[in-house]
Chains A and B, each alone.
Chain A
Amino acid sequence: MAPPPRSGDAIFANVDRVNAELFTLTYGAIVRQLLTDLEEVDEVNKQLDQMGYNIGIRLIDEFLAKSNISTCVDFKETAEVIAKVGFKMFLGVTASVSNWDPEGTTCSIILEDNPLVDFVELPDTCQGLYYCNILSGVVRGALEMVSMKTEITWVRDMLRGDDAFELRLKLLKQVPEEYPYKDDE
């Protein structure tokens, strides 16, 4: 029998951890390098999303291995797992899920704590920047590895004066699992 799923708190308590400020400041250094190299804020958003995607496709392995979570029955469960287990086990913060559409394919993940933005203030020249765009890339990449194509957008951002961070998740399609090879080969 498969072992029972573990809570985000239990996993977080048992993994090696580092000081969040090192993480925050390193991320800040990355954003600053991108702004210097790419100059255009839109390009920086794109690059951050790409970096997040690269992380997501690798991070999902560790997530599945440590959480004992098997297939989710529906997108609702998936979203709950991302918010309650995923965010907790990697970033040590708790997120919540809300604003479901009637079809159950679109929802919001809301973050009140976000270790990426400590010490950050967006200057006037960077108003179009989605500072935490790496996070949406991570979620998108990780979900793609479990056969879910999603579109993720930022709806609220505390750096832009909102009262929380809100990620809008939209399930575009569920790709049926297939083996990359044929049986008779």
Chain B
Amino acid sequence: MIGVGKTKQYANVLDRPISKGKQEVSLSAFAFLFSELVQYNQTQVDNIAELERRLEDAGYAVGARVLELLCHREKGNRRETRLLGILSFVHSTVWKVLFGKVADSLEKGTEHEDEYMISEKELLVNRFISVPKDMGTFNCGAFVAGIVRGVLDGAGFPAVVTAHFVPVDGQQRPRTTILIKFAEEVL
């Protein structure tokens, strides 16, 4: 167990010291695991929307825990109560811890007041995935969208979060945009 001494046993998970979060595993270990997650969920659904929803659910569970963990560790038990604060928390802190870098961009939607976008040139979960033609717009980024929704929801900012591919001029692979549409009561 990370951060647990060899001799000392903790009966309760809450008694363990919180880890510093510096531990790493190989990217391929994660890629293998993620691919099994996607493949397993493919066996449980009969359409793309359902598959994305299930990946999003898995991500949501991760996001909810990440919020709790990071609020304890990075922010001295304080959580953001302002919309821009929580968005920049997701874009900077959460992204940095989970993916090792700040997200490429955070923008406000130009057409709708309640929409924000986080864009990533090469999203970690999409790195080894090529979507077959017959699966249309399917995007594994749904998992990351779920993480974002989990963090936002846990912090009191319910939103609908979706992942989309956006083609970029001169680039072979599209970038991934995570679209956040906040619920009415948030604004």
Contact = CB atoms under 8 A, between A and B. Distances in A.
B102 to A, nearest CB: 14
Q: Report the contact-size class of chain B (Cβ under 8 Å from the partner).
A: 35 or more
Interface stretch (A51-59, A67-75, A166-174): A51-59
A153 B101 CA distance: 39
Given A18-B24, A112-B6, A115-B25, A26 B33 contact: yes
Contact of A33 (B3, B21, B58): B58
A51 B40 contact: yes
A92 B25 CA distance: 5
B59 interface: yes
Interface string B5-33: 01001011100000101011111111011
Interface of B: 1-3, 6, 9, 11-13, 19, 21, 23-30, 32-34, 36-37, 39-41, 44, 54, 57-59, 61-62, 65-66, 69, 97-100, 124
Given A26-B34, A117-B1, A16 B26 contact: yes
A90 B39 CA distance: 21
Interface of A: 12, 15-23, 25-30, 32-34, 37, 47, 51, 54-55, 58-59, 62, 89-92, 112-115, 117-121, 134, 158, 161, 163
A19 B6 contact: no
A55 B32 CA distance: 6
Contacts of A112: 6
A55 B33 contact: yes
Given A51-B36, A121-B12, A90 B28 contact: yes
